[in-house]
Amino acid sequence: MIDVQSIVKAFDTVKAVDGVSFKAKPGEIFGLIGPNGAGKSTTIRMIMNILSPDSGSVLLDGHPLREDDKNRIGYLPEERGLYKKMKVADVLSFMAEVKAADRHAARKRAGEWLERFDLSDWRERKVDELSKGMAQKVQFIGTVAHDPDVLLFDEPFSGLDPVSQDQLLTAMLELKAAGKTVLFSTHIMDHAEKICERILLIDHGREVAAGALSEVKARFGTDAARIEFDGDGSFIDSLPYVRSTRRFPRWVEVELQGEDAADRLYTDMAGRLKVRRFELLEPSLHSIFIRLVGAERSGNNADREALNA
């Protein structure tokens, strides 16, 4: 288990991380989420002991990280790094052996991952021949090839197409099912919403929201509706029970406020638009992110107090 206790890290006069605490447990996927520059990567580097916290502590299974503990950890950094002139199979073997993995077992495991990610034909090719997305998948394989107990993924979906993103999401769920401790950082809320049990949302290095995803939604979310219609729906934005709207080419997502807001919206639209679809939604992590980070960055104390009421 990773136990992060009130860690602080400052660079000159800027606090990159300011009193962050959380626990990531075996058999779960923990999401460290927030906008770019929120302090996610700095937090992960302190977990890895690449950076030392100015105060606070990081414990692995109840003790400070020791040098030999690093062999139990797979770390995919935000800044990717593969030896470009090495062959794919060789660089994967090297990455596993650095972590004290058995050479034969690591090659076998890496080969299985290469096949799974449709990269078997590239195992004898040099890394610099790979596309950006292929190199990203190879780096993921290098992170898991030594079969670590703890996995830290920093923005792991960068550069991947939707099919490859789904492959990675599935792989992370399987690592969770195998009892691994999985922590990943992202600013893409859809990914966190799909696979995380618990999250920590940070901004400017500080906690904004934390807990089980269902609890965060219950506390900070509002009801919403997704509507497809024909006609001019610009009036929707000015309705008193509409908190906000997100418009797309063929539909609109409306964030509502008030117990009877959905009924009122449907009634008001029925007389003015041809409604082709009206679907009630649970609060999305995306909408919660926008509201919380927006209130935090606006510096509006009233907004923050209202959100935490």
Amino acid type, 174:
E
The Cα 295–Cα 292 span in angstroms is 5
pLDDT band at 296 (very low <50, low <70, confident <90, very high): low
Q: What pLDDT, on a 0 to 100 scale, did the predictor assign at position 303?
A: 44
- Yes or no: say if 182 and 151 are a contact pair by the CB < 8 Å rule: yes
According to DSSP, the residues that pair with 225 across neighbouring strands are 254, 280
- Yes or no: say if 123 and 114 are a contact pair by the CB < 8 Å rule: yes
Q: What pLDDT, on a 0 to 100 scale, did the predictor assign at position 302?
A: 41
Amino acid type, 220:
F
Instruction: Return the beta strands (E) in 67-156 as ranges.
Output: 73-76, 150-154
H/E stretch holding 90: helix 88-98
Cα 150 to the center of its chain, rounded Å: 16
pLDDT of 13 above 90: no
- Yes or no: say if 307 and 292 are a contact pair by the CB < 8 Å rule: yes
- Domains within the chain, CATH numbers bracketed: 2-217 (3.40.50.300), 222-282 (3.30.70)
What is the number of other CB atoms lying within 10 angstroms of the CB of residue 200?
A: 26
According to DSSP, the residues that pair with 74 across neighbouring strands are 151
Condensed to tens digits (0 to 9), the pLDDT of residues 40-92 reads: 999 999 999 999 999 999 999 999 988 889 899 999 998 877 888 899 999 99
pLDDT of 98 above 50: yes
Give the chain's length: 309
Between residues 174 and 298, the one the model is more confident about: 174
Looking at residue 131, the DSSP 8-state letter turns out to be -
Condensed to tens digits (0 to 9), the pLDDT of residues 229-242 reads: 988 888 999 999 99
Closest CA to 62 of 11, 113, 2: 2
pLDDT of 307 above 80: no
Tell me the HSE value of 144 on the side-chain side, using a 13 A CA sphere: 24
pTM: 0.81
The Cα 210–Cα 19 span in angstroms is 13
- Average pLDDT score over residue span 292-299: 64
Structure tokens given for 146: 């030594």
Q: What pLDDT, on a 0 to 100 scale, did the predictor assign at position 285?
A: 87
